[in-house]
Homo-oligomer: A and B are copies of this chain.
Amino acid sequence: MIKMNMKKTVSLLLGLGMGLSAASAAWSAETLEQVMKRRGLTQKDLLAAAKTYTPTGGRDEYIVISSGGQSGQLIVYGIPSMRILKYIGVFTPEPWQGYGFDDESKAVLAEGRINGKDIRYGDTHHPAFSEENGDYDGRYVFINDKANPRIAVVDLKDFETKQIVVNPFFKSEHGGAFVTPNTEYIMEATQYAAPFSDDFVPLSEFNDKYRGGLTYWKFDKKEGRIKKEDSFVFELGPYSQDLSDAGKGPSYGWGFTNSFCSERYVGGIEKGRPPFEAGCSQKDTDFLHVTNWKKAEELVKAGKVKKAKGMYLIPMKQAIAEGLLYLIPEPKSPHGVDVVPDGSKIIVSGKLDTHVSVYSFKKIMDAIKNKKFAGKDPYGVPILSMKDTLHTQVQLGLGPLHTQMDAKPCIAYTSLYVDSQVAKWDYCKGKVLDKINIHYNIGHLMTMEGDTVHPDGKYLVSLNKLAIDRFNPVGPLHPQNHQLIDISGDKMQLLYDMPIPLGEPHYAVAIKADKLKPEIRYKSGWNSRTDSKSKWRTRAGREKIVRNGNHVDVYGTLIRSHITPEIIEVTAGDEVSIHLTNLERAEDETHGFAMYNQNVNLSVEPGKTVSATFKAEKPGVYPYYCTEFCSALHLEMQGYLLVAPKGYKATGAVAEGQKYTKADYEKQVKTNLETQAVIDSVVAFITSHNYKDFPPVVALVEDATDQLGFAEEAKKKSEEFAAKGDYQNATLWAGQWWQYQVKTADLGLRAKTYLEEHGAKKVK
């Protein structure tokens, strides 16, 4: 009655399952009209649904990398489905990914220490894709931390964080990361001025000793790492520098960085002074900083720039003398600066002004060439006049912030924070074309590849700072609201409201999905954080435990469905390093590894090797297990760390539980032979179809073949023990043989379903 009766299930597997999965006549109890009526959908809603709904197995056109705000992570989602695909741990430890739990990723986080202190979060703001000739190349993403000025490098071949660099001069940084057109450099500007030294400097010395700055981090695209030693920093006035953008085309070699609080105001509301918000927004203009990074690089290479704190520091005096730095007034408290695709113009929005200001790069260069300066700032930096450098100004509305570009020439979109709108306008003719209400209070906005030299248009995402009433309520802390807007027509059309469940994203970038070719597995024994073979890698059958004084290295492996070793014995006071290699080659066959009370929690994707080092302080029993539901026998993928007291001498053997007889052995073998019949039926189904035309099925068949190979090994062991009359071990190995058959059947059935659902044809 009980136990898998395999013969009987053949019909179940091959008949019933298939019949029922096929579509029947009565597909839905409701018609489309009935559904629309029940759910209150309009024709427009239906059209928006059709533009965004992505059926099972479908693919998104664009992949978005969004900052995760204070979550210290990056968010990956698809357009137009607006489904979130992944959170990537960057500055904050994240246990699902084992990030900050395995030794390898701890080393990445350790690069982000400041004054020797682990920083356990980040305030991420502006992700930037790596570029080649001003277009996204799909290789890397960079992201900054405003709270603790740092830049991280994420590799898009595995969506993992590879490097964190700390800015040794800054104490606050909002304006990162922005890249130059070939990712020569990653730009990072200060926000709140502070001394470049790490010392205490009183606010009475604000004007003289507090500084802003702009770092150009050198990036080595081949190695995929920032080279601090080749990077340089501009010393700037103690204004609150903000966002940047790099020039391209005619403006290649230059960078543009805006600022607010050029009033150099220091608040103190607690002492009756007007607050920062009043004093930092009093003047009509702030400063757009124009920097010549190409010339600065030449100076660096020529040995003309001095090093400080392990990188090059360009003092303001030198920048002025060498013609590397200019200021241009820009309207009141700007938030965004954006270079147009052809590089000829720079668009700035003063958030307390109703205009966007379009500067002409040619006019800027002419003024510089002609030394036509309107004056100098208190530090001697030459100021060009707005009049001489402006192409046009356009009145858009209240609170203009950021601008992104369309595929159509001269068309741009600007976010209006106070108006809660997006404006579509023409920056050549200076004309407003359309507006759409968003919900609510938009910060950044983003079009598809909208900050490259070849924007795609099509969609726009409005990154709204307030959601208020848009979603089912979930307590006082609300999700953010990213709204997807169709910009393919003349009029913008709202398509979708997407709640952000974790973090407050600031900016996001979207890349054509087909530019990304991520890996699905690592080379076997791979340290993914250093991109090299792990010295701790282990092959099947080579697992071992090596003691070296009080340190114990465990060289282990993971495979469906056991951890080798299953028992680890150490002594209290030992330092233990468990190194685990996932032996799987199959897609999505990640194993996890968690251990009681030791903060050991690892994610080991196919091929990866990770390590966990901890002190086994207290004698006791510490179960461990696989945390990913990897197979039917997942729960049985377990083991024990035993920490014996010092001086303990083992006595008894491992306890025996259930006993098995020859009859048990023979019963198991009979089951196995029946199971083999099922497998053969599934194999017959697969091979009688054109399965080789379906790569996912080919992968499943390869995996199934591996599992059957393992089954064969277990069968052999089982038969050897039976030949010796050891029916205890013979039965258990016969059980293991069957376990591998079940794994084979699992794969075979998935392959069969795939063929059925994808219209495979009978062959011959």
Contact = CB atoms under 8 A, between A and B. Distances in A.
A526 to B, nearest CB: 10
A654 B434 CA distance: 47
A253 interface: no
Contact of A472 (B63, B281, B282, B745): B63
A52 B51 contact: no
A743 to B, nearest CB: 9
A663 interface: no
A571 to B, nearest CB: 10
A644 B264 contact: no
A194 B621 contact: yes
Interface in A593-612: 594-597, 599, 601, 603, 605-608
A473 B194 contact: no
Contacts of A428: none
Contact of A55 (B41, B350, B633, B729): B41
Given A282-B735, A654-B203, A17 B71 contact: no
Contact of A17 (B86, B101, B421, B498): B421
A115 interface: yes
A491 B26 contact: yes
A530 to B, nearest CB: 16
A93 B355 CA distance: 42
Interface string A178-201: 000000000000011011001111
B263 A657 contact: yes
Given A472-B85, A476-B521, A597-B119, A195 B621 contact: yes
Contact of A596 (B147, B264, B496, B506): B147
Given A566-B268, A696-B468, A749-B420, A650 B202 contact: yes
A414 B491 CA distance: 48
Nearest to A206: B655
A120 B203 contact: no
A203 B642 contact: yes
A693 to B, nearest CB: 15
A50 B36 contact: yes
A96 B69 CA distance: 7
Interface string A431-452: 0101111011101000000000
Residue picked from A53, A60, A285, most chain B C-beta under 10 Å: A53
A745 B489 contact: no
Nearest to A565: B270
A532 interface: no
Interface in A44-103: 44-60, 63, 68-72, 75-78, 82-87, 92-97, 101
A97 B745 CA distance: 44
Given A41-B55, A50-B46, A199-B620, A395 B12 contact: yes
Given A41-B50, A119-B599, A354-B4, A566 B276 contact: yes
Contact of A28 (B120, B468, B489, B732): B489
State the number of copies, please: 2
Given A198-B618, A640-B203, A739-B281, A472 B59 contact: yes
Contact of A749 (B43, B54, B120, B419): B419
Contacts of A263: 657-658
A408 interface: no
Given A199-B619, A278-B732, A24 B491 contact: yes
A735 B283 CA distance: 9
Contact of A733 (B174, B210, B274, B622): B274
A533 B436 CA distance: 43
A155 to B, nearest CB: 9
Contact of A622 (B77, B171, B266, B271): B171
Interface stretch (A216-224, A310-318, A624-632, A684-692): A624-632
Contacts of A475: 86, 157-160, 518-520, 605
Contacts of A305: none
A72 to B, nearest CB: 6
What size tier do the contact residues of chain A reach? 35 or more
A642 B209 CA distance: 14
Interface string A95-119: 1110001000000000000110111
A504 B651 CA distance: 41
A646 to B, nearest CB: 11
Contact of A753 (B437, B516, B750): B437
Contacts of A8: 354, 395
A39 interface: yes
B434 A20 contact: yes
A242 interface: yes
A302 interface: no
Interface stretch (A228-236, A365-373, A477-485): A477-485
**Most chain B Cβ neighbours within 10 Å, of A50, A82, A335, A603:** A50
B596 A86 contact: no
Interface stretch (A126-134, A291-299, A584-592): A584-592
Contacts of A650: 202, 204
A122 B192 CA distance: 37
A343 interface: no
**Listed residue (A70, A82, A275) with the most chain B CB atoms within 10 angstroms of its CB:** A275
Given A70-B601, A357-B2, A261 B85 contact: no
Contacts of A268: 565-567, 654
A465 interface: yes
A84 B487 CA distance: 25
Contacts of A43: 32
A360 interface: no
Contacts of A403: none
Nearest to A158: B475
A374 to B, nearest CB: 14
B147 A595 contact: yes
A93 B73 CA distance: 13
Given A278-B732, A333-B635, 5 more contacts: A60-B472, A121-B599, A146-B625, A172-B625, A476-B606
The 3 closest A-B pairs by CB, nearest first: A204-B652, A264-B657, A49-B53
6 contacts: A21-B421, A26-B491, A96-B504, A265-B657, A268-B566, A465-B628
